Structure 1
Amino acid sequence: MDDDCIHVNGARLHNLQNVTLTIPKKKLVVMTGLSGSGKSTLALDTLHRESHRQYMESWGVPTARHSRPSVDSITGLSPSISVDQHPTGHSPRSTVGTVTDVYTYLRLLWSRIGVRVCAGCGERVPPAHTYGDDGYDENDVEAGSVPCPHCGAPVPELVMGSFSFNKPAGACPACTGLGEVIRPDVRRLVDGRRGVADGAVLGWPAKLTEHNVPVLRRAAAHYGFTFEADTPVDQLTDQQRDLLFHGVESEKFRRHFPGVRPPATVTAGRFEGVATALMRRYAERIQDAEYRERTEKQGLVKQACGECGGARLRAESRAVTVHGLSIVEAARLPLDELAQWLGQLREKVSPDEWLFVEPVVADLDERVRRLVDVGVGYLTLEQPTPSLSAGESQRLRLAALLGSGLTGMLYVLDEPTIGLHPADTARLIDVMHRLRDLGNTVLVIEHDLDVLRAADHVVDVGPGAGRDGGRIVAQGTPEEVAATEGDSVTGAYLSGRLPAPLSMGRGSGERALLIRGARAHNLKDLTVRIPLDRLVTFTGPSGSGKSTLLLEVLDRAARRRFRGAGDPPGEHDGIDGWQHLDKVVTIDQEPVSRLPRSNAATYSEAFTPIREAFAARSGGRLSPGAFSFNVPGGRCERCEGAGVLSVHMHFLPPVDVTCPACRGRRFGPEVLAVRYEGHDIAEVLAATVAEALTVFQDLPPVATRLGRLADVGLGYLPLGQPATTLSGGEAQRLKLAKELGRRASGRTLYLLDEPTTGLHAADTARLLDVLQRLVDTGHSVITIEHNLDVIRASDWLIDLGPEGGTAGGTLVAEGTPQEVAAVGASRTGGFLRREGGPGTG
């Protein structure tokens, strides 16, 4: 048997149809195919999972929790590492700098050669290494003091903890190192046009209003004024407003009556305040993620900390510099600029300083350059990891792998080009080639044609999705797959036999939005005209300012205008043209639900008519509620409709095992006995959207909803798949499908952030058809995209750049695809020219 290959025999997991496959080792292998064809099942759930199980078994570690995938045999496997699309971290204290350890090295550098000014004499205090401890001990967070070499006054000792916003020695005391504070947004707590007695406080039911109005009046009487409960809130005096919002114990209210003690009881007028009560409840339930998220949307707003200005560190730490640069300023540099600064540091430091910092700078430089190489050079160290896209998180982990030096490994990468401009994709391909050249096998799940062309070996899984997929329809070199005719859709796109979608040629149009003077983040006083009634695509390198302009400026401004709510928009002078729109709908890649019981069927609202159809087939014996796994009545009560039981393993994480009562089918025997067109309710939930469409084709309430899911490329998705397991792209398309089902009410602007994430070229064509239909019905669609098929098919392009980070934020080109292709300074235009030029249909 060939030792230079991985041999898979009889893989049958999920929709794989007894797949037998040979994969060459020490090569760049790309696994492709339609969305839902079985690529991830084969690469991640079969190859990676079995490699992990075999590796654990070789160490003598019990593998009961790591069940063998449904496959006859896999031989030739190497130890594997998967780099998937799961977020790097959810903690607001986690940043790009902390997860990559680059900020840790910066803290060490600043603690060794940082310079500050003595508060006593105003002289510069030299670096720590010249007069004492070099601050190397990470655990030495309680810094003492050392005498100033000029006046002898005590100066705080510099240790690594002095520059950590996660430790008391360095964190800003006002925001505890978060860089922002939560404040109540009083405009969202009340309807200012109404009086309190008339229901002005939006969170108060009628009975609570009846209870609180007398308390407010007694409180006002205690301080010698009256509270007019019938007067609109907008017309209340400062005293009355501060009483209503902040209560009798707040500093804002007590400043009006400095010598008066607050009432002792509620009966006497001890009123807490609407905003104060909201903040108290928020603090009490801070660990409840759902409550926290809901409360923030309803009445709270995040603001930069007034004391540190969002820098997270205390003033003493912010004042320390290394050759004129504070650690805060260093953390705000794009990574490619930080790499340049590090490269110049050798010339700036003294020989004595270099002796202390050479190893630190060498490690720093290597780590930063790896991050630049994987295409995230536009990121800054201070950027919170929860704000990173799935693709950015994945590339941070990929950069760490570059520094490991391991050989003989199997690396499984899940769509690493997500969010990358074609210009950045070339860099990523180089990184994957470097991993391969170290003697590793790099297995990539990917749809990007540039990556396919750069592969040593391509495996095309198909021919369709779900049960229509799960077979190997083509494999070999990219040229061999391109020459394959028949079932290989990928081969048809690689060879050009299937043409890319073309622009409808609608041009710029007359109606438009005009964003004036946008200056948020890296935007450079940008003014841009966005045509309406068109398919408009924002393009440009990663980090060029596309998401900032559309999501932080336009979207937030729209929320304020149409809903009177939301976080403040990014800095800009104004937006003209709102009169042309009735509403703005933003469809992002945030999860549709954090509850595992939510799924495609429930979120799309197709499950309600499905349950009603099954209830009708029961002859009146069962109600629609009996066919819900969320409430008692028909579900299996042993597992409460989950299909699995969580078994606690004492010192190990809990293990989910199939429920022995219902065998994972979630319902009781009486419910499962009812069949619709030969299928029971458990089988319907296990079916894909496409399969369920054939079952319910004669039931319009179900067929129309499922049809919309299929139209946006989700035909492969099982109806019962938990919403918590959906990728960002799947969640976005699920939201789009639901939005398409709403009744059109006037002229709508749809904002979509990279809607083709995770889609094969054939699925992208279907999605484009949906977006074009929206425009044809009088709506406007704006997308942020790197996908050349979407770019070519757009009516109007707005290209930002020319690079990412501080080198971006300007308008490089705008116009039809043909016009942008003719702009030499546009990197996007260059790729349009390379691909044979844009066209119109």
Structure 2
Amino acid sequence: MSSNECIHIKGARQHNLKNLTLDIPRNKLVVVCGPSGSGKSTLAFDIVYAEGQRRYVESLSAYARQFLPQMDKPDIDNIEGLTPAISLEQQTTSKNPRSTVGTVTEVYDFLRVFYARLGTMYCPKCGRPIVAQSMDEIIEKIAAMPEKTRFLLLAPQVEQKKGTHAKLFKSLLGEGFVRVRVNGDVFPLETPPELDKKKKHTIELVVDRLVVKEGMRKRLADSVELALKFGSGRLSVVQVGGEHDGESTLYSSDAVCPECNISLPPLTPQLFSFNSPQGACPKCSGIGSVEYFEPALIAPNQGLSLEQGAVIPWKNPKIFSRYKAGLTTLGEKYGFTVSTPLKDMSEEARRVLFEGDKDLKWKGVLKILGTGMQFGSIWRDELSRFRQSRPCPACQGARLRPESLAARVADKNIDEFTRMSIRKSLEWLSALEFEAHQKLIAGPLLKELTHRLHFLVNVGLDYLSLARNMSTLSGGEAQRIRLAGQLGSGLVGVTYVLDEPSIGLHPRDNDRLLKTLRDLQGRGNTVLVVEHDDKTIENADHVLELGPGSGWLGGELVYEGDVPGLLKAKDSLTGKYLRGDLKIDQPETRREAQGHITLRNVRTNNLQGLDLALPLGCLSVVTGVSGSGKSSLVVDSLYKHIALARGTKVDNPGQLDGIDGIDAIERVVSIDQTPIGRTPRSNPATYTKIFDEIRKIFSTTKEARARGYKPGRFSFNVKGGRCESCRGDGYKRVEMHFLPDVFVKCDVCKGKRYNHETLEVKYKGKNIHEVLDMTVREAALFFENYPVLKRRLAILEDVGLGYLRLGQPATTLSGGEAQRIKISRELGKRSLPGTLYILDEPTTGLHMHEVGKLIAVLQRLVDRGASVLVIEHNTDVVRSADWVIDLGPGGGEHGGRIVAQGTPEQIAANPDSVTGSFL
């Protein structure tokens, strides 16, 4: 194929790729599959995407390039036909509390303009609509009063303020005015009243006295202009005589409530931005939540007394001695001593202990700890573990100031709109009706809003709301949100590189995702997808399978061609599973529960007051369509409440009436997909403690003993043996200004982390850098004479990570790899009974062949006495469970109920279960 028809790659040797030459058809849906570590991400991201980005930077002017580092060319001979590349990786989501679904997809930007141009202000106090009026509109309304109506035209000066205001009277007289109205009475400015400075007064300037009649319009116009000038955009009309004597009407060229006299700012897009001072709630600065000290975290063990350290921050005797006298005095009044266990104190005594007693000048534990937050970063970090976040009491989590929330389109303010599900938002927008002059403004905005919301629906995210914080989403959801954002951009002629977009999707929702990928491709883009999902592979135009194994056993092109050819390929591991030649064995029997944890009336997010008895001593799986409430039930409700009961800091635990049976759980562990570290300094060897043993081995070598090197010499975290240029990172972070930051290899140690002297020490012919560069599988053979190391490395291989390099930076690991590293560390522990493990989609990043290995590992955890609870869509995992809980029937408000529960066989036989139909 020519370079116009394909991306031609010649001699790819990056990482473990073995001099590959291949073609990727352009403007097609191309799937790259194969075992973990076979080189899929290397091909897709480290070659196609990285070279696309490098060429983009090279295309910039010399002036722009001087601010950017030289980007390394991938290890390839040549690549032709490459178009600009955009990557959408499967990674854990943003931790920025300001990132929401609305801001990331840019829907919120259009929404702010929509409310600024089409919103109507309503008074926050009385609820009446407020519209700013032009001078002509004000003149028209005054002139429309009945003929012969006498009135005063006033310019407000002071409203309910204390003082004599003598300077104001003198200033107004100097401007040439004659009269002033003070507290409802008119006085000449030459002899103004003497006011009591301790009382509040209202002062209005009398600009004119008029009668409604023919020919008064010019004089009225001049007087209105003058009144607006001296009244700072406001004036009032007070009728004199007649049946409406004394009746006052307030007019404003700004938005002002005439009833409550509240002035509101003009509607601008900035007013609706929680990242702008004009719009952000002043209490929480636009974050929507505030942190507070939680008594349950400060004093988790109610059986201890104050003297015994019940209040954890005061456990140190020196710190406790500062407050002992105050606590003793408090105890004399409320009937306790410092030796009384907290559980034996009265409810009132516990309340004043934490909240304080003004009479005794006892500030309370919460206030004292709050003061401690000001004593420097070390003390502040220590105290932060006793704090929780909760919705801001001022804005109730809306993030915006009251003036921003006072604007409405139809019946909703911007916060109410963003809290609706995306599907409901679309329905609401389609039902809006506007007046003729508003339709011209609304048309383009509605088109953009509905387009972008439809993209979110098409990627299976219709159950989310625009206000949903990005940090609460799974990696799969976050990637599909970025995918929806790309659909909204309308780019053509681009190579999109995606990493497992089907993650987190129920089999029912896969069709919509495939349609989205086809839409992207149909616009004239090349869509290159790293994927394990059988349905996505079967719908591809072209398949590239790498393998046959992982790490150094992979890196070869096993198959290249269309799907019918893949199904016939004898050497293809993927083909064998798609044909049915290979399949994952299911257990012949199901375990019986060894007790239960019972949750009562769970109402977290969209959960509709459900009751659940979760079996212990079993492998349990929670499944259901996207947005049905799986994470709300398992993570927000079950995990967070057990963790809170064990004294662990958690944010926003779910709503429920009670949870029973947690005494059987000594430890709850959530094994999620968050990174094992946030810098290249963290790696699998350090996280699993393997590196500690390796450093000990190197310190016992003959050369190390002769030089006096201790294990610390072989650490890249401390001075001595590390390279000081990069401080042991091996890489340097470079700010790219208008591109994401990148890590470039250290030019002193060439990425080896250590100085020359340290690298001279060798064990069995290898230095410390060369050992860290080994794969887990290679290291297991290298250290086979060390039982502790051999056992830990074998566990890493059991969870399908034999291909990982020991020193591989945490920043390069996928969410699925990070999760399996955490599983391996847990498997390395001696005692597991009484432990509950919670895993969210552990099959992420696993080939069908490796899913079987993972299931075996989970079964091992249960066989050793643990309880395992998994959120999963993979049907092989569901079939392997002892107990299945299927939520649904739909997503968002249409979910939140238990549709079916029982053994996999019972779920498959249940006609109400969507999951059952796929089993």
When normalised by structure 2's length, the TM-score is 0.80
Correspondence 1:399 to 2:484: yes
For 2:777, the equivalent position in structure 1 comes to 690
Distance 1:831 1:549 in 2: 23
What letter matches 2:431 in structure 1?
A: Q
Shift in Å, 1:342: 1.3
Correspondence 1:576 to 2:686: no
For 2:22, the equivalent position in structure 1 comes to 21
For 2:298, the equivalent position in structure 1 comes to 189
Paired residue for 2:312, among 167, 192, 202? 202
- Contact in 1 for aligned 2:500/2:530 (Cα 8 Å): yes
Shift in Å, 1:629: 1.9
Pick closer, same or farther for the CA change 1:25–1:582 going to 2, 3 Å. same
Shift in Å, 1:743: 1.8
- Contact in 1 for aligned 2:92/2:815 (Cα 8 Å): no
- Contact in 2 for aligned 1:466/1:716 (Cα 8 Å): yes
Cα offsets for 1:229-257 (capped at 9, x unmatched): 555556678998788657xxxxx544x36
For 2:803, the equivalent position in structure 1 comes to 716
For 2:110, the equivalent position in structure 1 comes to 105
Cα offsets for 1:376-405 (capped at 9, x unmatched): 111101111122222122111111221233
For 1:472, the equivalent position in structure 2 comes to 557
Distance 1:645 1:96 in 2: 32
Which aligned pairs between 1:744-759 and structure 2 lie closer than 5 A?
744-759=831-846
Pick closer, same or farther for the CA change 1:789–1:283 going to 2, 3 Å. farther
Which aligned pairs between 1:246-285 and structure 2 lie closer than 5 A?
253-254=357-358, 256=359, 274-276=365-367, 278-280=369-371, 282=373
Q: What secondary structure, in the 3-state scheme, does the structure 2 residue paired with 1:734 have?
A: helix
Distance 2:120 2:821 in 1: 54
- Contact in 2 for aligned 1:147/1:153 (Cα 8 Å): no
Pick closer, same or farther for the CA change 1:635–1:732 going to 2, 3 Å. same
Q: What secondary structure, in the 3-state scheme, does the structure 2 residue paired with 1:480 have?
A: helix
Greater mean alpha carbon deviation, residues 230-239 or residues 564-573: 230-239
Distance 1:556 1:471 in 2: 45
For 1:838, the equivalent position in structure 2 comes to none
Shift in Å, 1:603: 1.0
For 2:413, the equivalent position in structure 1 comes to 326
Correspondence 1:174 to 2:283: yes
For 1:212, the equivalent position in structure 2 comes to 322
Cα offsets for 1:175-217 (capped at 9, x unmatched): 2322221101133224554454444442346463365146747
Cα offsets for 1:3-24 (capped at 9, x unmatched): 3011111111111111111111
- Contact in 2 for aligned 1:196/1:209 (Cα 8 Å): no
Paired residue for 1:460, among 537, 540, 545? 545
For 2:531, the equivalent position in structure 1 comes to 446
Q: What secondary structure, in the 3-state scheme, does the structure 2 residue paired with 1:827 have?
A: coil
Pick closer, same or farther for the CA change 1:805–1:295 going to 2, 3 Å. farther
Correspondence 1:377 to 2:485: no
Greater mean alpha carbon deviation, residues 650-659 or residues 618-627: 650-659
Cα offsets for 1:30-88 (capped at 9, x unmatched): 01111111111111111111122223323345475212111000011111111113456
- Contact in 1 for aligned 2:674/2:815 (Cα 8 Å): yes
- Contact in 1 for aligned 2:841/2:870 (Cα 8 Å): yes
Pick closer, same or farther for the CA change 1:707–1:310 going to 2, 3 Å. same
What letter matches 1:146 in structure 2?
A: D
Distance 2:601 2:828 in 1: 36
Pick closer, same or farther for the CA change 1:147–1:384 going to 2, 3 Å. closer
Shift in Å, 1:534: 2.0
Pick closer, same or farther for the CA change 1:208–1:113 going to 2, 3 Å. same
Pick closer, same or farther for the CA change 1:119–1:87 going to 2, 3 Å. closer
Distance 2:283 2:755 in 1: 55
Cα offsets for 1:596-630 (capped at 9, x unmatched): 32211111011122222222232633322222222
Greater mean alpha carbon deviation, residues 601-610 or residues 524-533: 524-533
Pick closer, same or farther for the CA change 1:688–1:283 going to 2, 3 Å. farther
Cα offsets for 1:292-335 (capped at 9, x unmatched): 87754x20011222233222233344344332223222111111
- Contact in 2 for aligned 1:120/1:151 (Cα 8 Å): no
- Contact in 2 for aligned 1:515/1:529 (Cα 8 Å): yes
Pick closer, same or farther for the CA change 1:806–1:295 going to 2, 3 Å. farther
For 1:431, the equivalent position in structure 2 comes to 516
For 1:303, the equivalent position in structure 2 comes to 390
Aligned length: 798
- Contact in 2 for aligned 1:172/1:308 (Cα 8 Å): yes
Cα offsets for 1:111-144 (capped at 9, x unmatched): 33334544787644469999999xxxxxxxx999
For 1:523, the equivalent position in structure 2 comes to 607
Distance 1:611 1:536 in 2: 40
For 2:51, the equivalent position in structure 1 comes to 50
Distance 1:293 1:728 in 2: 27
Distance 1:572 1:330 in 2: 26
What letter matches 2:103 in structure 1?
A: T
Shift in Å, 1:480: 0.9
For 2:699, the equivalent position in structure 1 comes to 615
Please say which structure displays the higher CA radius of gyration. 2
- Contact in 2 for aligned 1:113/1:129 (Cα 8 Å): no
Shift in Å, 1:670: 4.4
What letter matches 1:360 in structure 2?
A: L
- Contact in 1 for aligned 2:833/2:864 (Cα 8 Å): no
Paired residue for 1:728, among 811, 815, 826? 815
Which aligned pairs between 1:221-240 and structure 2 lie closer than 5 A?
229-232=338-341
Cα offsets for 1:75-104 (capped at 9, x unmatched): 111111111134563321221112222223
Q: What secondary structure, in the 3-state scheme, does the structure 1 residue paired with 2:915 have?
A: helix
Paired residue for 1:512, among 582, 596, 608? 596
What letter matches 1:829 in structure 2?
A: G
Distance 1:509 1:650 in 2: 56
Pick closer, same or farther for the CA change 1:635–1:52 going to 2, 3 Å. closer
- Contact in 2 for aligned 1:507/1:816 (Cα 8 Å): no
Correspondence 1:418 to 2:527: no
Which aligned pairs between 1:807-818 and structure 2 lie closer than 5 A?
807-818=894-905
Percent of paired sites with the same residue? 44
Pick closer, same or farther for the CA change 1:352–1:69 going to 2, 3 Å. same
In structure 2, the gaps of 5 or more residues are 139-232, 235-251
For 1:585, the equivalent position in structure 2 comes to 669
Q: What secondary structure, in the 3-state scheme, does the structure 1 residue paired with 2:291 have?
A: strand
Distance 2:443 2:726 in 1: 59
For 1:743, the equivalent position in structure 2 comes to 830
- Contact in 1 for aligned 2:296/2:644 (Cα 8 Å): no
Distance 2:731 2:403 in 1: 54
Shift in Å, 1:460: 0.5
Q: What secondary structure, in the 3-state scheme, does the structure 2 residue paired with 1:439 have?
A: coil
Distance 1:824 1:503 in 2: 23
Distance 2:257 2:339 in 1: 68
Shift in Å, 1:581: 3.7
Pick closer, same or farther for the CA change 1:750–1:330 going to 2, 3 Å. same
Greater mean alpha carbon deviation, residues 33-42 or residues 725-734: 725-734
For 2:586, the equivalent position in structure 1 comes to 502
Distance 1:490 1:794 in 2: 24
Paired residue for 1:163, among 262, 265, 272? 272
Distance 1:106 1:427 in 2: 25
